[in-house]
Amino acid sequence: MHGSACVRQARKVETEGKVKESSASFLSLDLNLNLVRFETMAESAQLYYSGGRYLRDQFPYRVFKIAVDAGFTCPNRDGAAGRGGCVFCNNASFSSNSRQARTSVASQIEDGIRFYRERLAGHKFIVYFQAYTNTYGSLEQLRRVYDQAMDHPDVVGLAIGTRPDCVPDPVLDLLKEYAGRTHLWLELGLQSSHDVTLRRLNRRHTYAQFLDAVRRAQQRALRVCAHAILGLPGETRDMMLVTADRLAQLAVEGLKLHHLYVTTGTELERSYRRSAIRVLRLREYIGLVCDFLERIPSSVVVQRVTGEVAEPYVVAPHWGVTKLQVIHSINEEFRRRGTRQGCRVKQVEAEAQAQVKEVMERS
């Protein structure tokens, strides 16, 4: 065990900020302020490499994330890959009249910066293109929206959220160009490494497409952050841990996790209401996050360990705890086990090698 080293290393909570509640944004501004306050209290408490700690390692000043909605759509909604979207994707929050008022990316950034400046000492910002599929457009369109962020003197990075089937080589080349000028993350939604689950979710992409996207991004030295959901319909604990092991082997630099939540107006809600699916209890989720992170190398930045659904949209679960309490519980569970992020990586590798050896000896 390397508990004390880990405590020294992983001592900040996530400070990822969102300017507005966009279609896929589940953090409130108040929550983010609380996170910042909590950071000082929990300075030495974290047993995983949090996004906040990473930003402090990278920059000599405080950096916050500002989430923006650049007005993109998604190929799993417009018919290019599918219609209806992923079963967990909230139709109401994604519909045109419920999306936040379509202000320009530049004005959303100004709003976000003003928010932080009024409440906290001024710092720098990473603009997170979060809503929908932020590489789904012509190169000119992409350049136009990314440049609105780049043009702001206090923006020091971009985080581009997208699907694994929406990063053709010309787009990755474009991102590489931006990565040469700023701190850039490519955020790829995977959710599960099991095609059976991806089909069940109506994701309309495969794990092979994710692998291909990661490989081509890594060829261009792009930082990749993978998104995964725990508690997906039909997934066992073992299946979730296989996803962890696969991500560990892929050497992605970042990871975002959250539990499955059911939101209004989704296919998932219909399944939930007819008791075809269940959601995780808080204790289950805490245990699974720790199981998962124990298998993820300690160098991987864990940029999110839980999500929150805006109250009007939430169907289940209702855990009745704040995000901070979830984070606290995860660290408490690590402490109880005497483990931390990455502590099982070598053991998993050794087991995999032993299995290969056994198979070869038998054949």
Residue with tokens 């483990």: 339
**CA–CA gap between residue 42 and residue 38 (Å, rounded):** 6
- Residue selected from 27, 89, 105, 226 as contacting ligand SF4 according to rule CB under 6 A: 89
Shortest distance, position 160 Cβ to ligand SF4, whole Å: 13
Report the alpha-carbon angle 38-39-41, nearest 5: 65
Span 45-74, contacts to ligand SF4 by CB under 6 A: 74
Shortest distance, position 154 Cβ to ligand SF4, whole Å: 28
When the beta carbons of 166 and 327 are compared against ligand SF4, the nearer one is 166
Cα dihedral sign, 51-57-58-60: positive
Nearest Cα neighbor of 292 from 248, 325, 262, 335 is 248
Which residue, judged by CB position, is nearest to ligand SF4 in the bound state?
A: 85
Q: Kindly state whether residue 149 participates in binding ligand SF4, applying the rule CB under 6 A.
A: no
The DSSP call for residue 161 is: E
Span 107-136, contacts to ligand SF4 by CB under 6 A: 132-133
SS3 87: coil
Query: How many CB atoms are closer than 10 A to CB 286?
Result: 22
Nearest Cα neighbor of 244 from 310, 300, 206 is 300
Q: Kindly state whether residue 163 participates in binding ligand SF4, applying the rule CB under 6 A.
A: yes
When the beta carbons of 3 and 75 are compared against ligand SF4, the nearer one is 75
- Residue selected from 85, 112, 164, 254 as contacting ligand SF4 according to rule CB under 6 A: 85
Distance in angstroms between the alpha carbons of the first and the last residue of the chain = 37
- Residue selected from 46, 76, 108, 298 as contacting ligand SF4 according to rule CB under 6 A: 76
Tokens of 81: 């890959």
When the beta carbons of 131 and 288 are compared against ligand SF4, the nearer one is 131
Nearest Cα neighbor of 109 from 53, 153, 141, 140 is 153
Shortest distance, position 32 Cβ to ligand SF4, whole Å: 22
Report the alpha-carbon angle 235-280-299, nearest 5: 75
When the beta carbons of 131 and 252 are compared against ligand SF4, the nearer one is 131
Q: Kindly state whether residue 263 participates in binding ligand SF4, applying the rule CB under 6 A.
A: no
Q: Kindly state whether residue 86 participates in binding ligand SF4, applying the rule CB under 6 A.
A: yes
**CA–CA gap between residue 241 and residue 177 (Å, rounded):** 35
Span 189-218, contacts to ligand SF4 by CB under 6 A: 189
Q: Kindly state whether residue 77 participates in binding ligand SF4, applying the rule CB under 6 A.
A: yes
When the beta carbons of 3 and 84 are compared against ligand SF4, the nearer one is 84
Residues in contact with ligand SF4 by CB under 6 A are 74, 76-77, 85-86, 89, 132-133, 163, 189
